[in-house]
Every structure is written in structure tokens, then in C-alpha cells.
Amino acid sequence: MGQGRLSSLALLAIERTLVKSLEKTPSWFNMPPVNDSDVGLKTDLLTVNPTQLKRFGNIKVNPDPLVQRLSLYGNSSIIVPAFAFSPYTNVAITTLKVLRPIRPHQRVVFFSPSYLKNLAGLWKGRGLKVFRLSTGFMLINVALELCDHVHVYGFWPFGINLQQQDVPHHYFDNVGPKRGFHSMPKEFLNLLQFHSQGALTLHLQPCS
């Protein structure tokens, strides 16, 4: 990332059969399952919430379940919002220390706390007042700063799609955020505005 802007980045998949569209530089959020028939196998960046890391128990004593899960994503970098809330910090730092000797080619990186603070302040000033921006929305903002072309797949915060079909919250489960934690419909409206301005490409139709 320090070498300048990237030419293209594909972010956040939810629809089925996206493989051909996502062969360039895909990034996945929240440790989703990846397979060839749904969203392809290539992964470059993976976001992990500390609450998910806690589900793997004491990784100092038994890191194997977490290591096995992360090995599914090859050498993709793992980004963690370690400083978003103080209870997250210890588990994030522990993950970094545990994984570094076991999977040295799979980097664990942290969101800059000052960047997250500035980003939240920016959007609050634009009327997006939420408890916390969603991980997807954060990474889309990062992508817009780093990349010339950004393609967003599956950022659809509604229970019914444009074809009047029920859709899950994620392509792999239907577990949504805690009530009042995010405001993804408001985030979506801002992404829709970016799309209309040509700042990014928001893919809303079923992929084939």
C-alpha cells in the first residue's frame, strides 16, 4: 500500500457465483467461508472483529482452531480494529503475538485509532451519526483513498433484494449486528451517492 494507489479493488461479496468478477483483488470481511462455487478462493485482505477472536477460546494455550481457520485464506493479511474499544485491545495484541511465529507470512495489522476517530468525525459531520461505522463501510473508505477503481459487492442492508427475494444479512449466515450498533441503511445511501457520482461501482444485481 505504500507504493501508491492500486488500480482496482473488489470489496464485500454476498451474492452467489461472483467468481469471475472477483478474480483481481478481493477483500473479505469477518472470516467468511470461501469456496470456488460461491465467491472464489482468492483472498488478499481479511477483516476480523475481536469478538470473533474470542470465540476461539484461549489461543495462548490452544491456537490450533484459529490457525486452522485462518489457513483457509492463504497468506492474506488480517486487519483488526484493535483500538476501537478498550476490551478489544488485549485479544487483538494476543492474536498478533500468537500468530507471528506460527504464520509469519500472514500479517496481522491494526486499524490506526486516529484514522478511525477522524473517519467517524468526518461522517458525523456529514450527518451519519452512529455508534460505530460498519467494518465494510470503513474498508470502502480506505479503498477510496488507495485505489483508482473500487467495486463493492453485496452491501445491501435490506431483507429483500431488487427481485423481491429474501436475502440473508451475510451470504454465509443471517446474523446481523447488535441493535443500534450500526446504521447500514444510512451507509448504503452514501454509497449509492458515491456510485451516482462515479466514485465507486456498487453492484446490486445478481451475478452470473
Which residues are annotated as catalytic?
Answer: 182
Q: At what angle do helices 113-125 and 135-146 cross, to 10 degrees?
A: 100
Residue 122 near residue 144 (C-beta atoms within 8 A): no
Containing H/E element for 94? helix 86-102
Helix (H) or strand (E) holding 45: strand 45-47
Give one DSSP letter per residue of 174-208, joined into a string.
Answer: ---PPTTT--HHHHHHHHHHHHHHTSSEEE-SPP-
The backbone torsions φ and ψ at residue 20, rounded to the nearest 5 degrees and listed phi first, read: -65, -35
Q: How far apart are CA 155 and CA 137, in angstroms?
A: 9
Q: By C-alpha distance, which of 134, 125, 115 is closest to 30?
A: 134
Close Cβ partners of 73 (under 8 Å, ≥ 6 residues apart): 28, 34, 43, 46, 106
